[in-house]
Each structure stands twice: as C-alpha cells, then as structure tokens.
Homo-oligomer: A and B are copies of this chain.
Amino acid sequence: MGADVRRDIDLAHASRLVNHGPTVLVTSAHAGRVNVMAAAWSMPVEFTPPRIAVVIDKRTFTAELVAASGRFGLCLPARALADATYAVGSASGRDLPAGTDKFARHGLAHFAGPVLGLPLVVDAVAWVECRVIPEPHAQAAYDTWFGEVVWAAADDRVFSGGRWSFRDDNRDLHTLHHLGGGVFAWPHGTVQARSSPGP
C-alpha cells in the first residue's frame, strides 16, 4: 500500500471512518520522540466540526506526548496489521533505547501527516490528524481526550463516496474490531435497512 491509494476525504465524512467502532492506532510526536499505541475505545462526538473522543490511559507514553504536543493521529489497521496492532497495544514506548521507537520496533513505516506533521502508519487503511481540544477534567476523570479532526484520508479501495465499502474482493482491507485478548473480528456482510419508519 502507500500514497497511491490514499485519498483525502471531505471532513464532513470524517466521522464515518470510526462510526462502526474499529480499533485504531493512536500516533503521537513531541520533541523528537514518536510513538504508536492501539486503542479500542474511540468514537465520533460531532459531525461538524468533526470531533472524535479517544480513551488514552494517563499512564501511557502516548498520553505524555499528546499532552505536550496538543495533537494526535488515528490510523485504522486492517487484517495484515493485526499482530502489530496487538503488540503496540501491549508494550510501552517510553523505555525504548534512544534511536528507536515502537514504529521501528514493530515494522510500521510511517509518513508525515500533511497538516500537523504527525507520524501516520503507511499500511493502515484510514488516517486522521486531530488537534486536542483541552478538557482537563475529562482527561483526568475518564482518560477521555477530545480532538478536532483537521485532516482525514482513506484507502480508496475500501472507502469511497464517503462510506466504507466492505466486499469480498477487498477483505484484507477491512477494519479490525477488538473482542479482547488479541482476538479481532472484521466486518464482512452488510445489510441495507429499510428506511420506512415503522410497521
């Protein structure tokens, strides 16, 4: 994968990227350090302006970098990244020796986000850059960080027209949904609900 399949998406559709509850990789950078961790707990909270909430445990190195820099990235892994997603969710980047980081350690190439310069995982299927909306109480009480989406992109083989398109022919690009203990499900079949309001 790479830049050839990455398409900027209208910020009005940014909530659609995480509307269905995928596990995300939270990326961060500050003062020459970069980090990546997995998070199962995120959700949109507003369409316009597009805002997303994500739970980042205050003991993590990610929380430290996000607090210091005022920004975070979200990258959506697909099936090929299941092992790396579980691994970066299970170990901290704080204590890695100088000159290395969790991207390098887990074989995750990254590129620089165009607006905030955040490190974003090349082999993900969607990418978001967020500016932190400071909410000290929610951060302290619920480890919940609110961010405004300033840029979003997705792999156009699996997200187009403002919506995910999960099909048999692009199964390797379906998002991951953590069931617990390193077991991930992915969305497969879809159904179009009738829009009629009742019986």
Listed in ascending order, the chain A residues whose CB lies under 8 Å from chain B are 16, 18-23, 40-46, 51, 53, 55, 79, 82-87, 90-91, 105-107, 135, 137-138, 141-144, 146, 162-164, 166, 171, 177-199
Residue of B nearest to A162 (CB): B180
A195: chain B residues at CB < 8 Å are 86-87, 90, 182
Provide a sorted-by-A list of 14 A–B residue pairs whose CB atoms are within 8 angstroms: A20-B40, A21-B21, A43-B55, A83-B194, A83-B196, A85-B193, A86-B193, A86-B194, A87-B196, A87-B197, A90-B197, A91-B197, A105-B199, A179-B190
A84: chain B residues at CB < 8 Å are 198
Closest-CB distance, A33 to chain B (whole angstroms): 18
For the residues of A in contact with B, the DSSP-based class is mixed
Residue of B nearest to A164 (CB): B179
Pair B185/A20 contact, Cβ less than 8 Å: yes
Pair A44/B41 contact, Cβ less than 8 Å: yes
Q: A20-B177, A43-B55, A53-B53 are in contact. Are A199 and B164 (CB under 8 A)?
A: no
How far is A77 from B53 in the complex, measured between Cα atoms in Å? 23
Pair B184/A190 contact, Cβ less than 8 Å: yes
